[in-house]
Structure formats: C-alpha cells, structure tokens
C-alpha cells in the first residue's frame, strides 16, 4: 500500500457479433495490444482520493457523470477491502479514443482493478477481474454482454458467448484489418437500448437480424480457421446489413464503408456499439490497407489503425 502500484489493459475490436452477443449469440473479438491504457495508484496521506486523467482531474467523487461507473467500482473495492477512506492519486494514462467502440470503459476498469488489487496487496483471479469490471460496465452500458471486459483482459482473439468462459481462437490470416474512427462519439448504452426497443416494437425484424448475425459469426469462425479472406469480407458486408436493420449504424459509418469498399476492401462494417464510433474493413494486403487509409483520410478521417489478422502476445 505504501509503494505506487500499476495495472494495464488495451483496446479491443469486435470482429463480428456486436449487439447479437447481448442476446446469447456468439461474437469474435480481438485485443489491440498496440493501443494501451495504464493506471497508477500512489498513496496520499491527506485522505483525498484524486483522479488524474485527460478528461478530468480532481476529487474522484466530484467528477462528471461519465465517472459514475468507475466511482462505483472503486467504492465497492475499497469497502470490500476495508479501506473506504484511504487517500490516493489514481492516474489514468490512455491511448484509447473514448466512446469509439474500442472498449475504452472496459479497458479503464480492467486497468484500475489490476492497479488497485496490487496497491492493496490482494490476489486477483481472472474470474474476479471479469466480475469486478462488470460493476462499472453495468452502470455505463445497462446490459453488457461482458465481451468488452473479456477482450480488454485477453491476450488472444476470443470466441465469446455470454455466461460462458471466453475461448481463445488464435488465428494467422493473410489479411489486414483497417480500423477507422468516424470522429463521432459512439453511444453503446443508447445503441443497446435501441436494439432492445426494436425487439419490443418489431420482434420479427430484430430476431431475424440477431439470428442472422449469430449465423454469420459461426461462418466467420470457419473462414478465419481456413484463411478464407474473401469469404470473411462478404460476411462483414452481410453483418453490416443486419446491423443497419437493428438501427445502430450512422450516416458517417455508411459513407466510410462505401469509401473502403470502393478502394479495395473485401468487406466493411461497424465495430462495437455503433451509432458513431469506428468502422473496420478487411484488406487483402498491406498496400491495399494503406490505399484505404489514404482514401479515408481524403474524406476527412483523422484516425485509423492497421492490424495484421494474426494474434500477438500481450503482456499486462
């Protein structure tokens, strides 16, 4: 407790299965180890619990409402370990864009939990990490499937079904994923609610899309296992069609998807909650990935990343 402690995590990308995963369909997600987040906690003797981050610096309890999930998580852990009034500086260092479907809230929760358990000299199992991170995710997203937290703490791509252990599915494909930011804040909580309300208003439409996304996710798993890139691209396009039917796309996403597909992408879709956030598309080689990024930049996209479609070991 007297020495500073730190914890880290990373961004995630949902390859396929966002939204349908909330309704017990499978999803495939991959960690983006290059886009990292870290948290350091150092003891203060004056009893103040201060948060230091790019969005807010000050007493954590007086922070903006976006911190409600994190505050609840920290409160629960401090009470659990009998140190509710201990003073500290908690510094969040993040390279993840917030609210872009890259799992920023889950990554923050995972890094805080790892740092706090180390700070308090408590052992932490993987199961406990997932359970604790869902305390804040529930407040932020309402009905989280748990996939963001599972991927923020994973070292390999995962096959995820809510309520079961994530299964690691390392893959080595001859393709590249381009991730591009719309610049529009995604709204995962709102998007999850919009799908729930569509299920009530138009159950047939919603169920067809949700089941369709589930089937495409099984097909994607097989395409990944067999290095069938072109097929995976077609699966992306079909998934985007269902996601649009669920009402979670955004005009900017639609525009960027068209640009990507016109510039050599094998397929493109939104990733994460949608209604803004990020787009992903599949490129057959690095030169095409570069061409897509340039074409997107010409359309005003300021942030994009390239990720080879293979697993990378990530240490945290």
Cβ contacts of 85 within 8 Å, gap of 6 or more? 47
Contact of 304 with 179, CB cutoff 8 Å: yes
Residue 148 C-beta: closest distance to ligand MEV, Å: 5
Total binding residues toward ligand MEV, as defined by CB under 6 A: 16
Residue 151 neighbours by CB distance under 10 Å: 30
Site for ligand MEV in 265-284 (CB under 6 A): 272-273
**Which residue's CB is nearer to ligand MEV, number 19 or number 293?**
19
Contacting residue, 49, 153, 182, 188, with ligand MEV by CB under 6 A: 188
**Which residue's CB is nearer to ligand MEV, number 28 or number 257?**
28
Residue 167 C-beta: closest distance to ligand MEV, Å: 16
**Which residue's CB is nearer to ligand MEV, number 16 or number 120?**
16
Contact of 124 with 19, CB cutoff 8 Å: no
Kindly give the residue spans of alpha helices, DSSP state H, lying in the chain.
68-80, 104-119, 126-141, 147-152, 188-201, 203-225, 229-245, 251-262, 286-298
Q: Which among 77, 52, 149 is positioned nearest to 109, based on CA atoms?
A: 149
Q: Is residue 192 a contact residue for ligand MEV (CB under 6 A)? A: yes
DSSP annotation of 42 reads E
Where does this chain touch ligand MEV (CB under 6 A) — which range of 11-19, 57-65, 74-82, 283-291? 11-19
Contacting residue, 14, 16, 259, 281, with ligand MEV by CB under 6 A: 14
Residue 152 C-beta: closest distance to ligand MEV, Å: 10
Q: Is residue 22 a contact residue for ligand MEV (CB under 6 A)? A: yes
Whether the CA torsion 8, 13, 16, 22 is positive or negative: it is: positive
Contacting residue, 15, 90, 147, 229, with ligand MEV by CB under 6 A: 147
Residue 166 tokens read as: 């994530």
Q: Which 3 state secondary structure label does DSSP give 155?
A: coil
Q: Is residue 18 a contact residue for ligand MEV (CB under 6 A)? A: yes
Contacting residue, 141, 221, 244, 250, with ligand MEV by CB under 6 A: 141
d(CA 225, CA 68): 41
**Which residue's CB is nearer to ligand MEV, number 60 or number 141?**
141
Residue 282 neighbours by CB distance under 10 Å: 29
Where does this chain touch ligand MEV (CB under 6 A) — which range of 14-22, 60-68, 74-82, 218-226? 14-22
Give contact residues for ligand MEV (rule: CB under 6 A). 14, 18-19, 21-22, 101, 103, 141, 144-145, 147-148, 188, 192, 272-273
């Amino acid at each position: 407790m007297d020495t500073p402690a730190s914890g880290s995590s990373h961004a995630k990308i949902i390859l396929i299965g966002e939204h349908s995963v909330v309704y017990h369909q499978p999803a495939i997600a991959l960690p983006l180890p290059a886009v990292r987040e870290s948290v350091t906690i150092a003891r203060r003797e004056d009893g103040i619990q201060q948060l230091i981050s790019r969005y807010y610096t000050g007493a954590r309890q007086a922070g903006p409402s976006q911190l409600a999930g994190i505050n609840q998580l920290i409160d629960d852990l401090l009470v659990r370990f009998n140190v509710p009034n201990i003073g500290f500086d908690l510094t969040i260092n993040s390279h993840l864009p917030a609210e872009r479907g890259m799992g920023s809230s889950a990554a923050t929760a995972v890094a805080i939990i790892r740092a706090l358990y180390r700070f308090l000299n408590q052992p932490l199992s993987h199961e406990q990490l997932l359970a604790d991170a869902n305390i804040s995710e529930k407040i932020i997203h309402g009905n989280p499937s748990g996939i963001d937290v599972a991927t923020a703490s994973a070292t390999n791509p995962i096959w995820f079904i809510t309520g079961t252990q994530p299964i690691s599915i390392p893959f080595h494909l001859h393709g590249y994923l381009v991730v591009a930011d719309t610049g529009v804040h995604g709204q995962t909580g709102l998007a999850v609610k919009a799908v729930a309300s569509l299920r009530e208003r138009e159950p047939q439409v919603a169920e067809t899309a949700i089941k369709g996304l589930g089937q495409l996710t099984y097909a994607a798993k097989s395409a990944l296992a067999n290095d069938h890139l072109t097929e995976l691209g077609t699966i992306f396009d079909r998934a985007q069609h269902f996601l649009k039917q669920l009402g979670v796309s955004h005009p900017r996403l639609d525009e960027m998807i068209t640009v990507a597909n016109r510039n050599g992408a094998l397929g493109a879709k939104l990733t994460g909650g949608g209604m803004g956030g990020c787009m992903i598309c599949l490129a057959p080689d690095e030169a095409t990935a570069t061409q897509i990024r340039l074409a997107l930049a010409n359309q005003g996209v300021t942030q994009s990343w390239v990720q080879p479609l293979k697993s990378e070991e990530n240490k945290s």
